[in-house]
Structure 1
Amino acid sequence: MPWSTAPWMVVGPDGAAVRPIEVYLSDFAARRTQPSSVRSYAYDLLRWWRWLVVVEVAWDRATSAEARAFVLWLKAAAKPRNHPRTVSTATAGAVNPITRKSYLDDRYRARTIRHSNAVIRSFYEFWIDTGEGPLLNPMPIDPGRGWRRPPAGGVGERAEAAGTIRYNPGLPKRAPRAMPDQRWDEVFGALRSNRDRAIVAAGVSSGARPSELLGMAGVDLDWGDQLIRVVRKGTRAEQWLPASMETFVWLRLYVAELGMFTPQDPLWQTVRRRDRGGGLQRQPLNYEALRGVFRRLNAVLGTNWTLHDVRHTAAIRMSRDPRLSMRDVQTILGHAHLSTTAEVYLVEDEVQVIRRVADHLAARSRQPQGPPTVSTPYDVEDLAVLFGGTVS
């Protein structure tokens, strides 16, 4: 079978690539897929492969019994860590009193398990289609009504009618992670550089994903119309998005600090200089470095905000503006399906609901209360007929 090398591989104990996974990932990488998606699939299949080694079952002999046991293990197991927790030990799994968000713990979340199940099923579907794999998929589907979207890497492809994977855990309904205006002012005030202020302002005004912002170059700025151009995750389509005037003010200050800067240079660069073997040079800002900005910010504020909270804040603000339709919000956010935008962001803010109900109860308590009206339990004429005579 012809195949090409994928950007990520799963290696066995002998140091050689695991052939079935290698062929699958090579095919997967050829389908309009980002390296980050290949990496995610590789880790899911590595976890499944290790499980098969432990239970001593060949990959093409696995059944739904192994898949069921694997999911049960994921629900009970703790994720391996490269380094033990230190400061975060006290907060793992707890709820932050300011943001009201839970800190991550070492358990596999329901979404992680569902993604793992989808990857395993896709892997076996590939080998069943080639005629070289097992006859049955060990990750079964329960027939039923509904729509199944393509797995990660297939964004934009048409969803197909299907059931659900039998061992998928239910997803808890969670509210969008938007920052209230007061908290947003605190976050923005804690940023330490014009670069950080510019990229965060761009994110909260355009709704672009952090990874999309990090891929920008100088040529992706339209200073006259105040637009920024990003490459959409999944579809890889270019899209111009409006950004706020404040964003371009901070951008102007940041670009002035860079000095030598051409339109083809990466827009976001590290302020510090690092030795890359050819002298001291500026380097493009990567995702981990941007996460570091929020780690420092959270340490100062005692919060646990994330990069994606900025995007959620932008989406919530847009969805509650009567001048914008949900189609407008969908287009700006780059969602492939309108249902995704509506389900996630067309919800009431719990804090606002509580405040309105509290105002309602306070208004009720301020209303003058007259003496209660006591009604006669029996009709007078009825009593006269029953007892005779006149009832006064």
Structure 2
Amino acid sequence: MNDRSRDVRSIRLPRWGRVAADQGVVPWLVFDEEGKAVEPVRRFLIDFVARDNRVGSVRSYAFDLLRWWRWLRVVEVEWNRATSAEVRDFVLWLSGAVKPRSAPRTVSAATAGTINSITKKPYLDDRYKPRTIRHSNAVLRSFYDFWIELGGGPLVNPVPLARSDHRRPHAHHNPLEPYRAEGRLRYNPKVPRRRPRQMPDERWNELFAALRSNRDRAILALAVSNGARASELLGVRGVDLDWGDQLVRVVRKGTLAEQWLPASPEAFVWIRLYQEEGPPLDPTAPLWWTLRRRDHGAGLAYQPMNYEALRAVFRRANLLLGTNWSMHDLRHTAALRMARDEGLSLRDVQTILGHAHLSTTADIYLVEEESQVIRRVQDHLAELKKRAQLPPPPVALGYQASDLEVLFGGDQA
């Protein structure tokens, strides 16, 4: 291990290279300053795509590897000669660095990193979060595992595991059994556990009233009734609606499996109102479209709604209400409502949310709502104060008040 010290606080990554879409097998690639694909990354991403990973994951991995390549250029280390010292210093740099922005903050500059007084949620700032660093470490370890297996990378993976002993990875592995995870990565930061919060009914009513269109009302009504993810709802088509049984079919984010989910009658009412005023709908086409026609080179036309358009819906509503709600808050709200319904089992909640393991549902949603705990404690303190202000009970016959005062140390008169 290279123990040379670096002043990581003074390092600034160059704007070297870029991630861009490609028309080949790999939808996203890392390109250098000459516009050529970075070959080690390209070969890794080909294998990554062949393992049936989604386009969004490919793009995410490409950006993590671009950041790593920029780091290697600054520290002047070849990618196949990197050691755990480079990874260690990279993690230290990420822990204190500020994300580069294409444009400076304007309206959000005053709230970045603060807590919203209404939602009690933090606003995002420009620091790298522990989850981002952990994801970066996982990407780098996977990248170097690929090249070590091919014999083209370093002899040892520079992203080490946090073992108490120094045994060889997968020592004494039975070849008839699958490989299992060898433990957490050494330089993974700890992630504070976040408690899901249920949106109070009055806040939900305020958010719903702030929406501008029946399309937006339909999407949010669906999300709060069954907890489907944003990407799952945006992928719904006209044929994915069962009007008779009031079901909606989604493609699950992780498994890509199709699943029918129940939805509230109100959600279907808003969908019908949206369809009556919206663009002509092909049953096999996406259900959600932009409200205005746009020209993307082929004349004015409605465009399928994407995640950025959905974020714009929340930005407008949050600006009006002074909040920072997101689509995931509706998923938490739906899940907590179901988990606290005595008529539903935890297995029911797991199925609707699409969790692979029951323990995931239990760990996240079998929690006490913090606001409700605070309210009950406040009621308890108010009750104690009320009792203290009540007159003392009369002394029973046959006893002297002075004797009781000596016995109990208080005024019993």
Cα drift, residue 15 of structure 1: 1.8
What's the TM-score, normalizing by structure 1? 0.89
Q: Does 1:349 align with 2:381?
A: no
The residue aligned with 1:92 is 112
Q: Deviations over 1:139-191 (max 9, x none)?
A: 1001369xxxxxxxxxxxx9934211000001112211431111111001101
Shift in Å at residue 374 of structure 1? 3.6
RMSD, matched Cα: 1.9
SS in 2 for 1:10: strand
Which 5+ residue runs of structure 1 have no aligned equivalent? 146-157, 378-392
Distance 2:405 2:373 in 1: 33
Tell me whether 1:27 sits opposite 2:59 in the alignment: no
Q: 1:103 to 1:376 in 2, by over 3 A?
A: closer
Q: What is the CA-CA distance between 1:376 and the residue it aligns to?
A: 8.7
| Aligned pairs for 1:139-288 within 5 A | 139-143=159-163, 160-258=180-278, 260-288=280-308
Shift of 1:279: 2.9
CA-CA distance at 1:205 after TM superposition: 0.5
Kindly provide the CA deviation profile for residues 186-222 of structure 1, in whole angstroms up to 9, marking residues without a partner as x: 0011011000000000011111100110011000000
Mapped partners of 2:39, 2:53: distance in 1: 20
- Aligned partners of 2:291 and 2:271: how far apart in 1? 14
1:48 aligns with 2:68: yes
What secondary structure sits across from 1:230 in the alignment?
strand
Q: In 2 relative to 1, CA 193–60 (structure 1 residues): closer, same or farther, beyond 3 Å?
A: same
| Counterpart contact for 1:144–1:162, Cα < 8 Å | no
Deviation at residue 5 of structure 1 after TM alignment: 3.1
Structure 2 matches for 1:54-73, cutoff 5 A? 54-73=74-93
CA 1:123–1:280 in structure 2 vs 1: closer, same or farther (change >3 Å)? same
- Aligned partner of 1:338 in structure 2 is 358
CA contact (8 A) 1:202 1:247 kept: yes
Measured in 1, the distance between the counterparts of 2:64 and 2:279 equals 44
Letter matched to residue 407 of structure 2: S
Indicate how the Cα distance of structure 1 residues 334 and 358 shifts in structure 2: closer, same or farther if over 3 A, else same: same
- The answer (yes or no) to whether the contact 1:144–1:163 under 8 Å persists in 2 is no
Matching of residue 74 in structure 1 with residue 106 in structure 2 = no
Structure 2 gaps of 5+ residues are 1-23, 166-177, 394-403
The question of 1:135 aligning with 2:155 is answered yes
Give me the whole-angstrom Cα distance separating, in 2, the residues matched to 1:305 and 1:258.
Answer: 26
1:124 and 2:144 aligned? yes
Contact 2:119/2:323 (<8 A) preserved: yes
More moved, 110-119 vs 250-259 = 250-259
Deviates more, 1:220-229 or 1:132-141: 132-141
Deviations 1:226-276 (Å, cap 9, x if unpaired)? 000000112110000000011001011111112532311210011111123
Cα displacement (A) at 1:341: 1.4
The residue number in structure 2 matching 1:150 is none
Quick one: which of 350, 354, 359 aligns to 2:379?
359
Secondary structure at 2:261 match in 1? strand
Deviation at 1:370, TM superposition (A): 3.2
Decide whether aligned partners of structure 1 residues 224 and 19 sit closer, same or farther in structure 2, where only a CA change above 3 A counts.
same
Maintained 8 Å contact 2:230/2:327? yes
In structure 1, the residue matched to 2:407 is: 375
Alignment partners' CA distance in 2, 1:94 and 1:111: 19
Q: Quick one: structure 1 residues 312 and 375, their matched pair in 2 at CA, closer, same or farther if it must change by over 3 Å? A: same
Q: Which amino acid aligns with 2:288?
A: W
Q: For each residue in 1:5-48, what CA deviation from the matched residue of structure 2 results, as whole angstroms up to 9, or x when unmatched? A: 31110111232111111000111012121111000000011111
Query: Structure 1 pair 363/284, CA: closer, same or farther in 2 (3 Å)?
Result: same
- The structural deviation recorded for 1:363 is 2.1
The residue type equivalent to 1:63 in the other structure is: T
- For residue 14 of structure 1, the aligned residue among 23, 34, 38 is 34
2:246 & 2:325 partners in 1: Cα distance?
27
Which consecutive aligned stretches of 4+ in structure 1 deviate over 6 angstroms post-superposition?
none
Identity %: 65
**Counterpart of 1:254 in 2: which secondary structure?**
helix
Provide the C-alpha distance between the structure 2 equivalents of 1:335 and 1:131, rounded to a whole number of angstroms: 37
Deviation at 1:361, TM superposition (A): 2.0
Q: Distance in 2 between matches of 1:283 and 1:326?
A: 39
8 Å CA contact retained: 2:69, 2:79? yes
Change (3 A) 1:117 1:221: same
Deviations 1:258-313 (A, max 9, x none): 25323112100111111233332211111100100000001100011112111111
Retained in 2: the 8 A contact 1:34–1:234? Answer: no
Greater CA drift, 360-369 or 185-194? 360-369
TM-score for both structures, normalised by structure 2: 0.84
Q: Which residue number corresponds to residue 315 of structure 2?
A: 295
Aligned counterparts of 1:376 and 1:24: Cα–Cα separation in 2: 79
Contact 2:198 2:369 in 1 (8 A): no
Q: How many residues align?
A: 362
Question: SS at the partner of 1:355?
Answer: helix
Contact 2:240 2:248 in 1 (8 A): yes
Contact 2:197 / 2:369 at 8 angstroms: preserved in 1?
no
Q: Which residue of 2 aligns with 1:317?
A: 337
